[in-house]
């Protein structure tokens, strides 16, 4: 029997216990041994939980119990779980974590500490989708050319509802929170940080890149306006928060932001709270993974997959995870050097010379206009909506600054990247 201690018995922890009980026969058959949750550590012992295990408010009751084989870390946060996971690994216990923020900062140190002890994290990215296993095992023969993922269900749910039903941002955020999709602090979702944590994990598996959230471009969905949604609808684009990593020569690009994607792209069809990840390998071509990215049972499904795997391999088998030397000599693309296409929305006075000034400013910054549309607004004002050919992030930022300084635009220009 493999004995499990769970740290953090919230929605996911309770699902882990329930599924281990409900699907005991099939799980035991697959694992070759019974996997039994023994004890859970919680902050508040008086809160009612739907589990049949002993509960404690002292984490050391798990970490120092010689009978516990595997620690499942579901506590959330970064520095506290870092200490807990470190101690568990040092005490020789295998660890399974769903904690993407912890891994975004400490994945390489923890892997070093783990050594030959199992340290698994399937549930940390895209909940129930086995994307970690796909990258580590199924796509092992490939150089990964790109990964593009809808890896935050809250943002996907919100954007979808805003586009399809015209529901306002604040109302739909509250709904996503009530449905239990959002993080405890929802700015992690809408600010793009949760997706960035997950993207960093995927990029490590693909490229061995040891970047932190502070090193990469992260923007959320909080600046999307009604006019941008109308533009997306009118021009057959979907609006998605994407995590993108690509290998270009000896550089790796890493970024999280809202994008306009043509409705015809497969990833544009991933709606609601669902997650989807497209991975392009040099030999296999494009592969697409789809499923529930959040929720108790879906996340617990991934946690238990790791428990079964550990049971099968035995605690001593080396983990196949973050390898810094995976692709020698790769470095991160500077944010200013990222190249993509852009959509701009500029509020202007509807008068002569304005368009010429905008075209001049963009041209001066090496930006070529691809399409342009003027929409009249009230009081002799208008919105200029334009898309660009591929250009550098630095050029678009400089152009926006120049437009603001020139007083041609009446409010802060809106900019959304286009992914085609
Ligand atoms: N808040 C996350 C999301 C939960 O919305 O995707 C799963 O990581």
Spacing, Cα 278 to ligand 1 middle (Å): 18
Q: Which atom of ligand 1 is nearest to the CA of 182?
A: 1
pLDDT tens-digit series, residues 242-288: 999 999 999 999 999 999 999 999 999 999 999 999 999 999 999 99
Judgement on whether residues 96 and 221 belong to the same structural domain of the protein: no
270 assigned to some structural domain: yes
* Boundary (domain end) residue, out of 264, 282, 313: 313
Judgement on whether residues 53 and 200 belong to the same structural domain of the protein: no
154 assigned to some structural domain: yes
Task: Tell whether ligand 1 has an atom less than 6 A from the beta carbon of residue 191.
Answer: no
- Answer whether residue 318 shows pLDDT above 80: no
The C-alpha atoms of residue 242 and residue 328 are separated, in whole angstroms, by 26
pLDDT tens-digit series, residues 6-37: 999 999 999 999 999 999 999 999 999 999 99
Judgement on whether residues 215 and 143 belong to the same structural domain of the protein: yes
Domain enclosing residue 219, as ranges: 134-290
* Residue to substitute in 178, 183, 243 for testing ligand 1 pocket (most ligand atoms within 8 angstroms of CB): 183
CA dist list (Å): 175 to 128, 154, 155, 170, 213: 22, 10, 12, 9, 27
327 assigned to some structural domain: no
Q: Which atom of ligand 1 is nearest to the CA of 181?
A: 5
Spacing, Cα 75 to ligand 1 middle (Å): 15
279 assigned to some structural domain: yes
* Residue to substitute in 149, 150, 154, 273 for testing ligand 1 pocket (most ligand atoms within 8 angstroms of CB): 154
Judgement on whether residues 185 and 242 belong to the same structural domain of the protein: yes
401 assigned to some structural domain: yes
Q: What is this structure's pTM?
A: 0.95
pLDDT tens-digit series, residues 136-162: 999 999 999 999 999 999 999 999 999
Judgement on whether residues 148 and 111 belong to the same structural domain of the protein: no
Task: Tell whether ligand 1 has an atom less than 6 A from the beta carbon of residue 156.
Answer: no
160 assigned to some structural domain: yes
Spacing, Cα 306 to ligand 1 middle (Å): 19
Report the catalytic residues: 198
Question: Number of structural domains, the chain?
Answer: 3
Spacing, Cα 297 to ligand 1 middle (Å): 13
Q: Whose CA is nearest to atom 7 of ligand 1?
A: 294
Task: Tell whether ligand 1 has an atom less than 6 A from the beta carbon of residue 127.
Answer: yes
Q: Whose CA is nearest to atom 8 of ligand 1?
A: 294
pLDDT tens-digit series, residues 36-61: 999 999 999 999 999 999 999 999 99
- Answer whether residue 395 shows pLDDT above 70: yes
The C-alpha atoms of residue 235 and residue 387 are separated, in whole angstroms, by 11
Spacing, Cα 257 to ligand 1 middle (Å): 16
Q: How many CA atoms lie within 13 A of 82 on its CB side?
A: 12
pLDDT tens-digit series, residues 180-217: 899 889 999 999 999 999 999 999 999 999 999 999 99
Task: Tell whether ligand 1 has an atom less than 6 A from the beta carbon of residue 183.
Answer: yes
36 assigned to some structural domain: yes
Task: Tell whether ligand 1 has an atom less than 6 A from the beta carbon of residue 342.
Answer: no
- Answer whether residue 319 shows pLDDT above 80: no
> What's the whole-number mean pLDDT along residues 406-418?
94
Judgement on whether residues 9 and 110 belong to the same structural domain of the protein: yes
Judgement on whether residues 209 and 65 belong to the same structural domain of the protein: no
Residue 108 has what pLDDT? 94
What sign for the dihedral angle of Cα 394, 400, 405, 411? negative
Beta strand spans in 224-329 (E): 237-248, 251-262, 274-281, 285-292
Q: Residue 323's pLDDT band (boundaries 50, 70, 90)?
A: confident
> What CATH number did the domain enclosing 341 receive?
3.30.70.260
Report phi then psi at 280, rounded to 5.
-110, 120
């Amino acid at each position: 029997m493999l004995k499990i201690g769970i740290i953090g018995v919230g929605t996911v922890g309770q699902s882990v216990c329930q599924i281990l009980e409900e699907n005991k026969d099939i799980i035991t058959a697959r694992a070759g041994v019974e996997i039994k949750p023994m004890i859970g550590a919680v902050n508040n012992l008086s809160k009612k939980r739907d589990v049949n295990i002993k509960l404690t408010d002292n984490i050391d009751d798990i970490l120092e119990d010689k009978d516990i084989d595997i620690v499942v870390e579901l506590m959330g946060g970064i520095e506290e779980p870092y200490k807990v996971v470190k101690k568990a690994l040092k005490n020789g216990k295998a660890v399974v974590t769903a904690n993407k923020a912890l891994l975004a900062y400490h994945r390489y140190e923890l892997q070093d500490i783990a050594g030959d002890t199992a340290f698994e994290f399937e549930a940390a990215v895209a909940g129930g989708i086995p994307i970690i296993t796909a990258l580590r095992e199924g796509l092992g023969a490939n150089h990964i050319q790109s990964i593009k993922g809808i890896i935050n269900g809250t943002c996907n749910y919100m954007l979808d509802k805003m586009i399809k039903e015209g529901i306002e941002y604040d109302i739909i955020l509250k709904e996503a929170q009530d449905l239990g999709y959002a993080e405890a602090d929802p700015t992690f979702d809408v600010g793009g940080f949760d997706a960035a944590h997950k993207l960093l994990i995927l990029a490590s598996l693909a490229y061995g890149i040891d970047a932190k959230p502070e090193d990469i471009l992260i923007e959320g969905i909080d600046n999307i306006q009604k006019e941008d949604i109308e533009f997306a609808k009118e021009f057959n684009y979907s609006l998605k928060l994407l995590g993108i990593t690509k290998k270009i020569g000896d550089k790796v690009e890493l970024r999280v932001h809202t994008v306009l994607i043509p409705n015809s792209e497969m990833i544009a069809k991933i709606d609601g709270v669902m997650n989807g990840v497209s991975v392009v390998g040099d030999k296999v071509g494009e592969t697409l993974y789809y499923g529930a990215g959040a929720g108790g049972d879906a996340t617990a499904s991934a946690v238990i997959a790791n428990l079964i795997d550990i049971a099968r391999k035995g605690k001593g088998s080396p983990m196949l995870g973050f390898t810094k030397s995976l692709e020698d000599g790769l470095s991160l693309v500077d944010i200013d050097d990222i190249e993509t296409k852009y959509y701009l929305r500029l509020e202007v006075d509807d008068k002569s010379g304005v368009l010429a000034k905008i075209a001049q400013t963009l041209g001066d910054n090496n930006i070529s206009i691809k399409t342009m549309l003027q929409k009249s607004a009230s009081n002799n004002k208008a919105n200029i909506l334009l898309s660009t050919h591929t250009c550098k992030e630095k050029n678009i930022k400089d152009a926006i600054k120049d437009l603001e300084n020139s007083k041609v635009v009446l409010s802060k220009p809106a900019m959304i990247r286009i992914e085609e």
